[in-house]
Amino acid sequence: MLKAAVVVLLAFMTLPTVVVIAVSFNPTAILSFPPAGFSLRWYENALTYPQFQRAAVNSLWVTLGSVALALPIGTAAALALERGRLRLPTLWATLLLSPLVVPGVAAGLGFLILAASLGMIRSRAVLIVAHVALVLPFVVRSVWVSVRNLDVTLERAAASLGATPWRAFRRVTLPLLRPGFFAAILFAVVVSVNEFVVSLFISNRVTEILPVAMYSYVVNYTDPTIAAMSTLFITATFVVVWLADRFVGLGRVFLQHR
């Protein structure tokens, strides 16, 4: 009985995805399911639509930039939290995780007003800073877990063998933090690539990232181009998630099991 319910519920969760993928191959502009035929014209449309192309490039830069910044910043913070013998560790931790708590519309509007008062309205820099702030909690959390599991005696062993603190960090600590980095990058990329609400407020047609461009399209047009775009998104995501599960074991990241 439980199994039946679970299957139905998982089907509910997956249904929309299936429909989108099916519709993306529909030869006509009328949204129908099951699709009346098979055509790749919407994929062609999606991939050649200039606004999508520009938005994709923007997404690439914004995500790369924000992850590249967030990773070292977040790692440093995680190390400080775990090893820094801070007086109020929970306070600092809560502060670092606080962007998670703030509603997207609030952060978005706030950054918009801030950018306006600095005369930097809709600049890419503001967009990247906002993404770094949104992505940072995930990076800190992922790396922190790894740092917690680090065995301090390994670094002591390196020291006893003559390695300077910096060399020990580079040759022992950093490699051991790799699983944390992997998870951090995964989360950061996914969060940044899919970030919509805040980016909606602080970007314009020139600087907007992909989800915002897709949103504009959906509001204005009803053809399955978005279905094609979505399918590409979904495929990329499934591949990434599957890989992550195979190499890192997502179960370990999310559940505490034996």
Partner 1 sequence: MKLLLAPALTVIALFAVALGCLLQYSVLTFIPGSLKTGGLTLENFRNVLAPQYLGVIWDTVWLSAATTVLTLLAAYPVAYALARTASARVRSAILVLTLAPFFTGAIVRTYAWILVLGNAVITWPIPMLFTERGVLVGLVHFSMPTMILMLAAGISHIDPVYERAAASLGARPARVFWRVTLPLSLPGIVSGSLIVFAWTLSAYPTPALLGGGKVQMIATVVKDRGLDSFNWPGAAAFALLALAMTIVLLAGVGRAGARAA
Window 208 to 237, contacts with partner 1 (CB under 8 A): 211, 214-215, 218-219, 226-227, 230, 233-234, 237
* Of the residues 64, 83, 91, 167, which one makes contact with partner 1 according to CB under 8 A: 83
Candidate residues 96, 127, 172, 184; the one interacting with partner 1 per rule CB under 8 A: 96
Total site size for partner 1, rule CB under 8 A: 86
Which residue, 179, 95, 185, is CA-closest to 135? 185
Tell me the HSE value of 258 on the side-chain side, using a 13 A CA sphere: 0
Q: Return the residue of 31, 60, 64, 157 that touches partner 1, per CB under 8 A.
A: 31
Contact by Cβ (8 Å): 184, 68? no
Nearest to partner 1 of 161, 242 (CB atom) = 242
- Under 8 Å between Cβ of 202 and 126: yes
Give, as ranges, the residues between 49 and 78 that touch partner 1 (CB under 8 A).
72-74, 76-77
Choose, by CB under 8 A, the member of 41, 45, 196, 223 that binds partner 1: 196
What does each C-alpha distance from 2 to 11, 15, 177, 239, 251 come to in angstroms?
14, 20, 39, 29, 21
**Between residue 104 and residue 123, which ones bind partner 1 under the rule CB under 8 A?**
104-114, 116-117
Q: Are the beta carbons of 42 and 24 closer than 8 angstroms?
A: yes
